[in-house]
């Protein structure tokens, strides 16, 4: 039998209280609130829980920022942050962060307040089709029923939240979950600020309603046993390469070290693969593989990819050229952009009991990498004038603290770090929005990553982003004055426009007349003024020594922005071209 209605408590009020309580029981430690009225029961209950020290609350008026902030927190902690919005286009602004969470398997709970069903589809104010609006990108999507404040309501709200958190943190395929919550008036009541009445309480001992104890997938097996799944006669070949893309599995890094070391295979890691510091990690893998002749002569017998690969064309060509391909990816949408995987595993394999051996294989890669390093030094060492993005990347990688986080924006910065500075990032937790590679949401995500990681004791964070990525998400700097700030230095490589396009095909002279108009797009935005308007500390660095000095002094001092004036985009593309040519020549002479 249902408990009788508690007449004194409005159903929406009860639902707000219970949903926030259950989120906290399920381990949610951060709630990001947008502003608005329909979400009032959730917002007030969250504020009261914050007051009691049960949860951290972050308030952002721009819901796109709120979504990416929650994404960053989930990325850093593995625990979904709940982002709560009011109805209407407030909800639609969550789409970019939900897409990124979907693509990069980051847990995220989007809780959108809605009008009750009778007010939908009839032109009611601030009412749109919210239910299922993100369905293509969510792991689970539920449009809740209208609240009834009895014990059945309690059971329904709690079990729904418990399931949403379990689905968002699924061991194979974590990701975004959307809960649409119709809330009828009255939307406020004093009970929102008081303890829960008995009939609305959760399980004893602050336990979740339903605990998720499904099997954890992904046991490591030795590589020879993995290959035997394909062909019982298969041997582990001598000439292998390990390519590491974006992933969030810290255990994978040790396992990669172990297998690479035991087999003597080179490791080429994208920055957020965090494996460049392996014993056989290459410092300039993408540049070495840029040489067609080298790639042709060193096509691997087996390539082992880990996570989401695809930052460099040259590496994708290397993967395509391999005789066989084992992909490691815990996600159900495993990454195989070359469509070449023979086998997919959920975990990096252990060293095999037996493997063929050929010391000349590693020697050839090591030699090519050292020659590439010398060529890079020669070209960058003779570059004069304003710093290139490549040099800025090297300074940032050099200073990034080993106990901190380095967030890399999409576009040139992540590639520059990967080609020029990866080896110096041993131990640094490097992250980026590699799921969809958007230049939106970078500052918000970095902020969320800093909050999440520093909440668990990590050191100061740095974000390195391009100028477009910075102004695109400058609203991330609009934060209530009374809210704490993480230690985050945002380094902006300012080349006034989209620098990456200068080194793509459209940068060729034949497209020069339209290039600046549709690709470069210089806007001449005064980034110092823009950032200062939000009240953050801004510095401008015009050379590498001043960047180094300012960055070192800024670390650990809350939010700081350093705008670095880099050389013009065409010059940077020219220097990159010179480096490629120099590496090619050096590697050919090997």
Ligand X SMILES: Cc1ncc(C[n+]2csc(CCOP(=O)(O)OP(=O)(O)O)c2C)c(N)n1
Which residues inside 458-477 make contact with ligand X, applying CB under 6 A? 466-469
Strand order in 488-494's β-sheet? 429-432, 405-408, 461-466, 488-494, 559-565, 537-541
Contacting range for ligand X; rule: CB under 6 A; set: 21-29, 290-298, 497-505, 543-551 = 497-505
Residue for token digits 């995500």?
Answer: 445
The Cβ of residue 357 has, within 10 Å, a number of other Cβ atoms equal to 11
Q: Is 266 in the site for Mg ion (CB under 5 A)?
A: no
Long-range contacts of 199-206 (CB under 8 A, 24+ apart): 199/3, 199/6, 199/150, 199/151, 199/154, 200/14, 200/17, 200/18, 200/149, 200/151, 200/154, 201/154, 202/18, 202/21, 202/22, 202/25, 202/158, 203/25, 206/25
Does 182 help bind ligand X (rule: CB under 6 A)?
Answer: no
Q: Which class for 576: exposed (0-12), middle (13-18), buried (19 or more C-beta within 10 A)? A: buried
**C-beta of 362 vs 470, nearer to ligand X:** 470
Residue from 498, 562, 576, 584 in contact with ligand X (CB under 6 A): 498
Q: Under DSSP, is residue 30 helix (H, G, I), strand (E, B) or coil?
A: strand
Three-state DSSP class for 519? helix
Interface with ligand X includes 537 (CB under 6 A)?
A: no
Determine the Cα–Cα distance for residues 19 and 413; give it in Å rounded to an integer. 40
**Shorter beta-carbon distance to ligand X: residue 189 or 466:** 466
**Min dist. Cβ of residue 413 to Mg ion (A):** 9
Q: Which positions ≥6 away from 471 have C-beta within 8 Å?
A: 523, 525, 527, 530
Q: Which does 418 bind (CB under 5 to 8 A by kind): ligand X, Mg ion, none?
A: none
Residue nearest to Mg ion (CB): 466
Nearer to ligand X, 300 or 498 (CB): 498
Describe the strand order of the beta sheet including 267-269 as a list of residue ranges: 267-269, 240-244, 302-306, 324-328, 343-345
Q: What's the min distance (Å) between Cβ of 494 and Mg ion?
A: 7
Choosing from 208, 418, 499, 507, the residue that interacts with ligand X (CB under 6 A) is 499
Distance from the first to the final alpha carbon of the chain: 82
36 binds Mg ion (CB under 5 A): no
Question: What x/- string results for residues 394 through 413 when contact with ligand X is judged by CB under 6 A?
Answer: ---------------xxxxx
Question: Using CB under 5 A, which of 273, 432, 499, 520 touches Mg ion?
Answer: 499
Asked whether position 495 contacts ligand X by CB under 6 A, the answer is yes
What is the helix (H) or strand (E) element at residue 295, kind and residue range?
helix 292-297
Contact string 431-450 vs ligand X (x = CB under 6 A): ------xxxx----------
Give the integer Cα–Cα distance in Å for 509 and 384: 23
Task: Write out the binding residues for Mg ion, residues 455-494 only, by CB under 5 A.
Answer: 466-467
Say whether residue 175 binds Mg ion (CB under 5 A): no
Name the minimum Å distance from CB 437 to ligand X.
Answer: 5
Residues counted in the chain: 590
Query: 439 or 576: whose CB is closer to ligand X?
Result: 439
Nearest distance in Å: CB 248, ligand X: 21
Shortest Cβ 415–Mg ion spacing (Å) = 13
Residues that bind Mg ion (CB under 5 A): 466-467, 495, 499
Residues that bind ligand X (CB under 6 A): 409-413, 437-440, 466-469, 495, 498-500
């Amino acid at each position: 039998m249902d408990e009788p209605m508690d007449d004194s408590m409005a159903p929406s009020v009860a639902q707000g209280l219970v949903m926030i309580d259950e989120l906290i029981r399920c381990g949610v430690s951060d709630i990001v609130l947008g502003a608005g009225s329909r979400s009032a029961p959730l917002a007030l209950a969250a504020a009261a829980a914050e007051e009691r020290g049960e949860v951290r609350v972050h308030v952002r008026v721009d819901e796109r920022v709120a979504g990416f902030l929650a994404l960053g927190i989930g990325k850093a902690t593995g625990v979904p942050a709940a982002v709560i919005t009011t109805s209407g286009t407030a909800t639609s602004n969550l789409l970019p962060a939900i897409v990124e969470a979907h693509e990069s398997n980051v847990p995220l709970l989007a809780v959108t307040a809605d009008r009750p069903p009778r007010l939908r589809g009839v032109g009611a104010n601030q009412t749109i089709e919210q239910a299922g609006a993100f369905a293509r990108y969510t792991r689970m999507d539920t449009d809740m029923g209208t609240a009834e404040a009895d014990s059945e309501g309690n059971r329904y709200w709690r079990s729904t939240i418990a399931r949403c958190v379990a689905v968002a943190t699924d061991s194979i395929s974590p990701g975004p979950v959307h809960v649409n919550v119709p809330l009828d008036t009255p939307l406020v009541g004093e009970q929102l600020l008081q303890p829960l009445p008995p009939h609305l309480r959760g399980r004893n001992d602050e336990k979740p309603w339903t605990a998720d104890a499904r099997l954890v997938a992904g046991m490591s097996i030795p590589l020879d046993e993995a290959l035997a799944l394909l062909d019982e006669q298969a041997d582990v070949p001598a000439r292998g390469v390990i390519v590491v893309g974006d992933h969030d599995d810290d255990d994978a890094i040790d396992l990669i070290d172990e297998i690479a070391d035991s087999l003597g295979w080179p490791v080429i890691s994208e920055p957020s693969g965090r494996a460049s510091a392996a014993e056989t990690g290459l410092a300039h893998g993408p540049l070495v593989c840029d040489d067609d002749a080298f790639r042709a002569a060193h096509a691997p017998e087996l390539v082992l990819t880990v996570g989401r690969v695809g930052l460099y064309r040259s590496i994708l060509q290397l993967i395509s050229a391999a005789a066989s391909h084992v992909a490691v990816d815990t996600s159900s949408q495993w990454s195989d952009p070359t469509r070449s995987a023979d086998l997919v595993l959920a975990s990096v394999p252990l060293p095999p009991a037996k493997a063929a051996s050929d010391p000349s294989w590693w020697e050839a890669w090591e030699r090519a990498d050292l020659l590439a390093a010398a060529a890079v030094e020669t070209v960058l060492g003779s570059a004069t004038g304003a710093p290139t993005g490549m040099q800025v990347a090297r300074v940032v990688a050099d200073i990034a603290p080993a106990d901190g986080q380095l967030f890399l924006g999409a576009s040139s910065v992540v590639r520059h770090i990967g080609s020029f500075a990866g080896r110096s990032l041993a131990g640094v937790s490097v992250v980026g929005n590699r799921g969809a590679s958007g230049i939106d949401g970078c500052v918000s995500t970095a902020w969320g990553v800093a909050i999440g990681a520093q909440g668990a004791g990590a050191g100061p964070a740095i974000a390195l982003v391009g100028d477009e990525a910075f102004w695109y998400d400058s609203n991330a700097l609009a934060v209530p004055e009374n809210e704490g700030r993480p230690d985050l230095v945002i380094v902006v490589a300012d080349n006034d426009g989209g620098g990456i396009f200068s080194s793509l095909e459209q940068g060729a002279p034949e497209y020069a007349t339209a290039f600046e108009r549709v690709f470069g797009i210089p806007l001449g935005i005064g980034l110092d003024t823009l950032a200062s308007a939000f009240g953050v500390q801004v510095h401008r660095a015009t050379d590498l020594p001043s960047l180094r000095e300012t960055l070192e002094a800024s670390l650990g001092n809350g939010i700081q922005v350093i705008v670095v004036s880099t050389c013009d985009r065409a010059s940077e593309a020219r220097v990159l071209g010179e480096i490629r040519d120099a590496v090619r020549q050096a590697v050919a002479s090997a």
